[in-house]
Amino acid sequence: MKPTSGARGERRFALLLFAPAFCALVLTTTVPLVYLVWTSLMRVDLSMPWLRGFAGVDNYVKMGVDPRFWNSLWLTLVYTTSTVALQVVVGLSLALLVLRIPRGQAALRIAAILPIVLAPVVVGLFWRTLVLSPDVGLVDVVTRALGFGSHNWLGDPQLALISVIAIHTWQWTPFAFLVLLASLSALPPDVFEAARIDRAGAWQRFRHITLPLIRPAIVIVVIMRTMIALSAFAAIFAATGGGPGTATEILNLYAYRTSFSELNLGYGASLAVVLLAITLGVSLVMFGVRRAR
């Protein structure tokens, strides 16, 4: 008797607590999403109002023959995989390194917090101007001092792509570093001791003991950073605007430019839908992988 009414009461109470957030989410995310999908099926081009009308899947078909779309898709892939890989590799190496230094860990943690809290748009802006400008930018000063000469960091297509990848990596590696450092510190010291007594080499210790133990943390870092890399926008927007040419125009920027520079809202919406589909697909796969382990 009592458990039943308790369960019903619990259900009611849960709904009471969850409903407000649920309604807010429906209103701020799902309703606009429906509108977005609907717009992606329409021909809405502000520069050609006379063409407005239902387009079915035309916008999606158009992507097939749109080289800029394929370019942006490719760049999204390059940008996402390289930034995530760099963050994990650099972050992990750094965490392993820091674990061994006797002092100064606190200073490093503070320095690591610095980029994370900054607004991506401001990061993009000051990299573009103060860090990467030829002649007076920090990187240029350093490369010249080291004898590598002056480079057109954001003006050359390849270098620009490398630069935006570097900006993202600079800002977010600390995240991977802090998470991995925390999980490394939480490992019981005796596993290492045992391995040391076995006289296993440093690499073997890492490969066979440390890595499996922190694998869950790495998987999570990969998942989270992938999601964020896929939605990256402001830093690239501020640093290169997608240029030079289309050298750094990832899908997000292409969708923005299509909607707001070219005013083709229908096509822009369909690009955003594709981006959403990719994000969902990738995350499903990743969560699947995570569960499988």
Partner 1 sequence: MSTRRLRTVLLVGMAAVLLAVWAFPVLWALLTSFKSERDVLAYPPGLIFEPTLRNYRDVMFGPSSLLPNLWSSTVVAGASTLLTLLFAVPAAYALARLQFPGRRASGFYVLATQMLPPVGLIIPYYLVLQKVGGLDTYAGLVVIYLTFSLPFAIWLMVSYFEDVPQEMEEAALLDRAGRMRALWYVILPQVRGGIAVTTIFVFLNAWNEFLFAVVLGGNRVRPVTVAMFNFISVEQTLWAKLAAGAMLAMAPVIVLGLLAQRHIVKGLTVGAVKGGGRR
Partner 2 sequence: MKRRSKATLATPSRRRMLKQTAALIAAPYVLRSAHAQGNADVAPYTAAKINWRQAEGEEITVAFIPASYFDNLIAIAPTFEALSGVKVRFEKVPPGQIRQKAMLDLSSKTATYATSATDPMYYPLYVANKWVEPLDRYLNDAALTDPAWFNYNDILKAWRDADSFEGKPYGIPYDGEVTVQVYRKDLYDAKGLKPAETLDEFLKNAAALTDAGNRMYGMALRGFAGAGQNMYIYPSLFKEFGGNWFNGKKVVVNSPEGVRALDWYVDAESKYAPPAVRNWNWPDIADAFSQGTLGCYIDAHSSAAVLMNPEKSKVIGKIAFARWPKGPTGKRVTSIWNWGLPINAALTDKQKRATWLFITWAASAETQARTSWKFAGAAKRSGLNRTSLWKSPEFLAMTSNIGPNFVEAALGSLEQDTDVDWRPRVPQWPAIGDTMGTAIQSALVGQKNSREALDEAQARIDQILKG
Backbone angles phi and psi of 53, in degrees to 5: 170, 180
Q: Please select the residue that binds partner 2; options are 96, 99, 143, 156, rule is CB under 8 A.
A: 156
CB of 97 to partner 1, least distance (A): 6
CB-CB contact of 87 with 169 (8 Å): yes
Nearer to partner 2, 29 or 47 (CB): 47
Nearer to partner 1, 200 or 276 (CB): 276
What part of residues 165-194 is at the interface with partner 1 (CB under 8 A)? Answer: 170, 174-175, 178-179, 182-183
Residue 61 binds to partner 1 (criterion: CB under 8 A): no
Angle at CA of residue 133, ends 127 and 135, nearest 5°: 140
- Sequence-ordered list of residues with C-beta below 8 angstroms from that of 94, at least 6 positions apart, any chain: 173, 177, 181
- Whether residue 32 has a cis bond before it, omega within 30° of 0: no
Q: Count the neighbouring beta carbons within 10 Å of the beta carbon of residue 112.
A: 19
- In terms of phi and psi (left: phi > 0; alpha: psi -120 to 50; beta: otherwise), the region of 199 is left
If you ran DSSP here, which 8-state letter would residue 48 be given?
Answer: -
Residue 264 binds to partner 2 (criterion: CB under 8 A): yes
Q: Which of partner 1, partner 2, none does residue 116 bind to, with CB < 5 to 8 Å depending on kind?
A: partner 1
d(CA 126, CA 146): 22
Of the listed pieces 23-31, 83-91, 102-110, 131-139, which binds partner 2 according to CB under 8 A? Answer: 131-139
d(CA 270, CA 265): 9
Residue 261 binds to partner 2 (criterion: CB under 8 A): yes
What part of residues 39-78 is at the interface with partner 2 (CB under 8 A)? Answer: 46-51, 62, 66-68
CB of 231 to partner 1, least distance (A): 5
Residue 117 binds to partner 1 (criterion: CB under 8 A): yes
Residue 285 binds to partner 1 (criterion: CB under 8 A): no
Q: Which of partner 1, partner 2, none does residue 263 bind to, with CB < 5 to 8 Å depending on kind?
A: partner 2
Burial environment of residue 224 by CB neighbours within 10 A (0 to 12, 13 to 18, 19 or more): middle
Where on the chain is the footprint of partner 2 (CB under 8 A)? 46-51, 62, 66-68, 133-135, 150, 152, 154-157, 241, 243-247, 257, 260-264
